[in-house]
């Protein structure tokens, strides 16, 4: 049986989800392939421009909506409380769905209101003075409409999480963050467990995403010898071990691929590693973050976290 975890709402979230960032033109086929392979958890976002292809693939699949777990995210130009419900409406229209299972604040930064995804002046992002607490309170209001089953956040620092918990009434169901064996964030993820916030790993393969480019000559996370060595005992590959490393901690993981053989193989990363193997992987942590848009997005992120 595929692994599922319970959220603080009582709903279940599948351990393995399917990422859809990049390769927009390939996503309808990729999601179709993923659903055929058995994925039932799909991650998209307004800014990925993949809500439409995700919606089309789901419709084509004929899989009943209640068997799926769909996440999308509020983009930075829609943080004003008055813009949150209309932004969700646009996402639902593109997904051709009545509701999403999870709606996340994508980044803790507010940009100029409007429809421009990257509003810039002289090459810099135009910021808007909107408190993230107010944006989150507008997200809370969506719960009673039935159009979102759960709400959460992504890319928040510890201080931002604490401030949210102190000033709002719904504990986020999920925090989606970069996490993999080179950025393990053990203290931060343990903190989430204590607060009842489910952690989901994005970029679970570390620097496999081409968008992250080359950081010196460090090579690729999935070429770490210990991952292949651990995998041998389970008859699994290094990428499958990185997914299992997340699942074993009780976290969801979001591998992305447009390649049918990889889409199928990644689903088989749904298994558990022994405590001894988890310990071996603990030693390869480099506290290395690949997705940090600080500066470029108009402010500093992750200031109190590992990998800064």
Ligand X SMILES: NC(=O)c1ccc[n+]([C@@H]2O[C@H](COP(=O)([O-])OP(=O)(O)OC[C@H]3O[C@@H](n4cnc5c(N)ncnc54)[C@H](OP(=O)(O)O)[C@@H]3O)[C@@H](O)[C@H]2O)c1
| Residues contributing to the site for ligand X (CB under 6 A) | 19-21, 43, 106, 154-155, 176, 202-205, 208-210, 222, 239, 254-259, 262, 265-266, 291
- The distance of closest approach from Cβ of residue 274 to ligand X in the complex, given in angstroms and rounded to an integer, is 22
- Kindly tell me which of 205 and 245 has the beta carbon lying closer to ligand X: 205
Contacts of 77 (CB under 8 A, 6+ apart): 83, 111, 112, 113, 114, 115, 116, 117, 119
- Kindly tell me which of 103 and 276 has the beta carbon lying closer to ligand X: 103
Residue among 39, 48, 103, 202 flagged as catalytic: 48
- Kindly tell me which of 70 and 170 has the beta carbon lying closer to ligand X: 70
Specify the length of the chain in residues.
Answer: 308
- The distance of closest approach from Cβ of residue 144 to ligand X in the complex, given in angstroms and rounded to an integer, is 25
For the CA atoms of 287, 224, 261, 231, the dihedral, rounded to the nearest 10 degrees, stands at: -110
- The distance of closest approach from Cβ of residue 209 to ligand X in the complex, given in angstroms and rounded to an integer, is 4
Contacts of 156 (CB under 8 A, 6+ apart): 105, 108, 164, 175, 177
Residue 234 known to be catalytic: no
C-beta separation of 239 from 271 below 8 A: no
What DSSP state is assigned to residue 111? B
Q: Is 106 annotated as a binding residue?
A: yes
- The residue whose Cβ lies closest to ligand X is 19
Quote the CA–CA distance of 255 and 14 in Å, as a whole number: 13
Which uninterrupted H or E stretch holds 212? none
Residue in 267, 276, 202 with CA at minimum distance from that of residue 233: 276
- Kindly tell me which of 9 and 19 has the beta carbon lying closer to ligand X: 19
C-beta separation of 20 from 54 below 8 A: yes
- The distance of closest approach from Cβ of residue 20 to ligand X in the complex, given in angstroms and rounded to an integer, is 5
Phi-psi region of 162 (alpha: psi -120 to 50; beta: other; left: phi over 0): alpha
- The distance of closest approach from Cβ of residue 240 to ligand X in the complex, given in angstroms and rounded to an integer, is 7
Which uninterrupted H or E stretch holds 102? strand 102-105
- Kindly tell me which of 9 and 76 has the beta carbon lying closer to ligand X: 76
Sign of torsion over alpha carbons 7, 100, 140, 146:
negative
Q: Cite the annotated binding site for substrate by residue number.
A: 106
Q: Cite the annotated binding site by residue number.
A: 106
Q: Which residues are catalytic?
A: 48
């Amino acid at each position: 049986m595929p692994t599922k975890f319970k959220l603080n709402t009582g709903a279940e979230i599948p351990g393995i989800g399917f990422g859809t960032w990049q390769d927009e033109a390939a996503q309808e086929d990729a999601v179709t392939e993923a659903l055929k392979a058995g994925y039932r958890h799909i991650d998209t976002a307004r800014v990925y421009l993949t809500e439409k292809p995700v919606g089309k693939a789901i419709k084509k699949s004929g899989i009943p909506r209640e068997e799926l777990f769909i996440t999308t995210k509020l983009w930075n130009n829609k943080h004003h409380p008055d813009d949150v419900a209309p932004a969700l409406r646009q996402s639902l229209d593109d997904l051709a769905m009545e509701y999403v299972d999870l709606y996340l604040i994508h980044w803790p930064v507010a940009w100029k209101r409007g429809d421009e995804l990257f509003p810039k002046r002289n090459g810099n992002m135009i910021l808007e003075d909107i408190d993230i607490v107010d944006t989150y309170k507008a997200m809370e209001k969506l719960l009673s409409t039935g159009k979102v089953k759960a709400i959460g956040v992504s890319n928040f620092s510890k201080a931002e999480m604490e401030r949210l918990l102190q000033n709002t009434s719904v504990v986020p169901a999920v925090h989606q963050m970069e996490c993999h064996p080179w950025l393990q964030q053990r203290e931060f993820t343990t903190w989430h467990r204590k607060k009842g916030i489910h952690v989901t790993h994005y970029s679970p393969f570390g620097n496999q995403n081409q968008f992250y480019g080359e950081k010196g000559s460090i090579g690729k996370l999935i070429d770490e010898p210990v991952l292949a060595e651990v995998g041998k005992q389970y008859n699994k590959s290094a990428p499958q071990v990185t997914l299992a490393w997340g699942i074993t901690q009780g976290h969801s993981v979001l591998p992305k691929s447009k390649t049918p053989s990889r889409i199928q193989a990644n689903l088989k990363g749904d298994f558990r590693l022994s405590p001894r193997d988890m310990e071996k992987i603990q030693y390869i942590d480099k506290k290395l973050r690949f997705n940090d848009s600080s500066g470029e997005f108009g402010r500093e992120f992750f200031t109190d976290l590992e990998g800064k």
